[in-house]
Structure 1
Amino acid sequence: MQKIAIYGKGGIGKSTMTANLSAAFATLGKRVIQIGCDPKADSTINLLGGQPLQSVMGYMRSYDREPDRLEDIARTGFGGVLCIETGGPTPGLGCAGRGIIATFNLLDDLNLFETFRPDIVLYDVLGDVVCGGFAAPIREGYAEDVLIVTSGEKMSLYAANNIASAVENFADRGYAKVRGILFNRRNVPDEQKKVDAFAQAHGLPILADIPRSDAINRCEERGMTVIEADPDLPISQKFLRLAVSLAAEQEIG
């Protein structure tokens, strides 16, 4: 089982990257779980035909109890991807990171991995603050590898640097390691140079270079990934090649 946490600044496109990568893995015949670890609970919406999924924390608020079954908090999306959202507390009340911890504990109790037996688990994690529950995939053994989504924008690179530094601080404890960067272009000045400099400073490869794409926007308006809409599109092929590469590295490792 390959467990990957995808981190990035809010709004940088990490959910788009994660959902398309999940769809790409599924297209390759892999059993995939995608777990959205963001209070917005919208990570999986484009795997579910544009329909939002009730989050774990939302379920607990609605029913004042923990769910008894995976079916209460999970739904199968495109390609058989099992979709789960942690959600967060009522706005202004409580810590969003604690929702991730509570969800992970619950999923352990419900034997998620033993029941579904996935090949790939993708965690879509907000990376603006790498502390508390948001650091759980890195330090609690849930993820083995970290992918950092960034553009050449200043605040995106700032968040990416914080994420890389956080993972490096855990390096001697056998926790997750940064495998590389997903370069999600925003077409800002000197973008290639800035992202290359960040990658070189941390000794990281750029695993995928994703251009700005009208196809992604059109597909998301229809509630789907580009992989579902047309796997032969050039942008779809980029995600498929990334999935092939990541799966191959896991098999070699």
Structure 2
Amino acid sequence: MSKQLKQIAIYGKGGIGKSTTTSNISAALAESGLKVMQFGCDPKADSTNTLRGGEYIPSVLELLAERRRVDAYEAIFQGFGGIYCVEAGGPQPGVGCAGRGIITAVELLKQQRVFEELDLDVVIYDVLGDVVCGGFAVPVREGIAEHVFTVSSSDFMAIYAANNLFRGIERFSSAGGALLGGIIANSINTDFQREIIDDFAARTATPIVQYVPRSLTVTQAELSGRTTIEAAPNSAQAEVYRELARRIADHTESKVPTPLNQQELREWSARWADHLVAAERAESERQREVA
């Protein structure tokens, strides 16, 4: 009897640390002995760079632009820990749908039964989460991924993107779409950052999977073209990623979130803005009294 392949999608606003987080999860899972594929779904085709020493690999769309017929294995490259790396790619800027590469790449690998032949344990789709439409919605809409996670900080635009993703999951859930596993809270280094993301999670009935602090260790690793797991395996940050990977590997129950509508989100953010201004004033008053 063949083993059950686990397919997950990790979404997040551009620049939020989604690919950094995904690559470290992949590295930690591979380190634990699992057979992993990381499937980059960003038109920039840079999801898997830190798994391959900073090197780019040709995307599926690039290969198809050269010739009509492509063997799926021509688009698969191995990286750290034997991780299979694939980049869907995208069209030239201003030409065509940026999500088309995802649709094309997924179909190519499915048609050639790559997942079964490689006997994979986990496939992780690293998906741009600024918009949840067209090709970018494929892992959710088609139910390709069983569980969806979003990387978000406490910044408003990151939360706005996460809430949009929740709306997409809610919409497609009744038609067999993927469900939400939870929020990966990234760059959380202060109490107020944690309070903001916790409040958003509570209001959308969404669990926090892990808090990931901002760390210079991550920056140093990326500048060397590697994940933190590879470059600094004994660091505290590497242990954070290992725990996150364990939680995702063990995750079995996902659900439909309860996203905020536009007015609710704006009112929620305005209340937090007022709260932070009041807290700053109170702290300034306290310091003046001490002085």
Superposition TM-score, scaled by structure 2 size: 0.82
The Cα offsets for residues 143-196 of structure 1, whole Å up to 9 and x where unpaired, read as 000011000111111000000111112222232111011011165893222211
Residue in 1 that maps onto 2:23: 19
Equivalent residues of 1:8, 1:125 under 8 A apart: yes
Q: Are the structure 2 counterparts of residues 89 and 189 from structure 1 closer, same or farther at C-alpha, using a change threshold of 3 Å?
A: farther
Residue in 1 that maps onto 2:116: 114
Residue in 2 that maps onto 1:88: 90
Equivalent residues of 1:152, 1:188 under 8 A apart: no
Q: CA RMSD in A?
A: 1.6
In structure 2, the residue corresponding to 1:96 is in which secondary structure? Answer: coil
Equivalent residues of 1:153, 1:188 under 8 A apart: no
Q: Give runs of aligned pairs for residues 25-174 of structure 1, distance below 5 A.
A: 25-61=29-65, 63-70=66-73, 72-174=74-176
Quote the offset at 1:109 in angstroms: 1.6
Larger radius of gyration: 2
Equivalent residues of 2:221, 2:232 under 8 A apart: no
For CA contacts below 8 A with separation 6 or more, give which structure has more relative contact order. Answer: 1
Residue in 1 that maps onto 2:289: none
Gaps of 5+ in 2: 254-291
Aligned residues, how many?
Answer: 249
Equivalent residues of 1:2, 1:250 under 8 A apart: no
Q: Are the structure 2 counterparts of residues 131 and 188 from structure 1 closer, same or farther at C-alpha, using a change threshold of 3 Å?
A: farther
Residue in 2 that maps onto 1:8: 12
Q: Give runs of aligned pairs for residues 151-230 of structure 1, distance below 5 A.
A: 151-185=153-187, 190-230=192-232
- Between the two proteins, what is the percent identity of the paired residues? 47
Quote the offset at 1:250 in angstroms: 4.1
Whole-angstrom distance in 1 between the partners of 2:173 and 2:144: 15
Quote the offset at 1:134 in angstroms: 0.4
Gaps of 5+ in 1: none
The Cα offsets for residues 6-37 of structure 1, whole Å up to 9 and x where unpaired, read as 00001111000100000000011000000000
Quote the offset at 1:102 in angstroms: 1.1
The Cα offsets for residues 194-248 of structure 1, whole Å up to 9 and x where unpaired, read as 2111111111111111111111110111111011123221111011111122223
